[in-house]
Structure 1
């Protein structure tokens, strides 16, 4: 078997056009998932009545089922719910107006939220309770103490886990081809379908994923370094 190096290069160039799609899915899912994760983590940390049980069930269900299952449930179930509500309340909006990538954003954000809630919760628990009590002693409210003292330290603690979760989401984004979204993985299949050089096309895709992963690791390392300098009271 002879590897066509020229085709690998050609595939690499063509795959660059869909890199923004993959990055958008990863970034939106992680940002929305982090917001969900923070809310769920706080609910579970402070054991908010009723909501605590709902949050715990959400985390257990999402972590106990595959990512692809979440995507398919959203893809097939959300339109039914939206269209039913539209008919009931007379809305002009219909599920056909939702772009395919929208289903990926919603599904992956929900998935990321469950996993990141545990990451955030572990970070909050790692911060000594004495620091929160010290904040109260100088007149800070709970919101001020959490925002100025607890969360910055917790973020520094969970940064490596956030980096790993981002990389996992990047790789998990390959599932979007099941709902007709063309990302790096799907594009590589399209490129190879013209001449059946799937091996070369997948090598090109792997190179791009590898490059993005290295970039995420580098950015995470730089951010971690700056945060550590800040926590030590240094300057840059």
Structure 2
């Protein structure tokens, strides 16, 4: 096999158009997953009746099954649920009108939520309980103490693992091609199919993912520095 270096650059430029799709999938899944993770973490830490057991089962199931399986379950199961609810309520809405990327959003958010809940939970547990008691002593409510004292410290502790989760979701976004979403990897396959230069196309895709990963790592390092400065009493 003869490698065509010029096509690596050609493929690289063609793949740039797919970066926004990959970043949107990653951003939506990470943001929604973080919200889910925070809720699940608090439910488990404070042992909310019934909900804590459901949250534990959710985390165990998602972490014990592949990400691709979650996507396929949502892709084939969600339309059935939507169409049934629509029929029961007399709506004219059909699941067939949903954009394919919507299934990726839902699936990846659920996946990210389970993993991030463990990251957030470990970060919260790492903060000394005396911090919250100190907040009470100066008149803060529980929510104020959590928001202004406990959570910033927990976020600083959890940031490296949260960064890993973001990178994991970035790489996991490549599974979206299974539901016909054209991300970077899917675009690479399309580009390569015109002349069978798959190695060059996927190498270009790898370089883009590498660059995005380095960017996330750099942004994490900057944010970690600022959070640590803030927790030491400096100004943001």
Moved over 4 A (4+): none
1:136 Cα deviation from its structure 2 partner: 1.1
C-alpha separation in 2, matches of 1:63 and 1:229: 34
**Partner of 2:136 in structure 1?**
136
Identify unmatched segments of 5+ residues in structure 1. Answer: none
**Partner of 1:206 in structure 2?**
206
**Partner of 2:197 in structure 1?**
197
SS state at 1:119 partner: helix
The two structures, once aligned, show a CA RMSD in angstroms of 0.8
Identify unmatched segments of 5+ residues in structure 2. Answer: none
| CA distances 1:193-231 after superposition (whole Å, capped 9, x unpaired) | 010000000100000000000000000001111111111
| CA distances 1:100-128 after superposition (whole Å, capped 9, x unpaired) | 00000000000000000000000000000
1:92 Cα deviation from its structure 2 partner: 2.1
C-alpha separation in 1, matches of 2:160 and 2:107: 24
1:234 Cα deviation from its structure 2 partner: 2.3
Task: Using structure 1 for the length normalisation, give the TM-score.
Answer: 0.98
| CA distances 1:74-100 after superposition (whole Å, capped 9, x unpaired) | 000000000011011111222112110
**Partner of 1:118 in structure 2?**
118
C-alpha separation in 1, matches of 2:98 and 2:42: 31
Question: 7-16 vs 91-100, which deviates more?
Answer: 91-100
**Partner of 1:108 in structure 2?**
108
**Partner of 1:13 in structure 2?**
13
Task: Using structure 2 for the length normalisation, give the TM-score.
Answer: 0.98
C-alpha separation in 2, matches of 1:47 and 1:227: 29
C-alpha separation in 2, matches of 1:145 and 1:132: 6
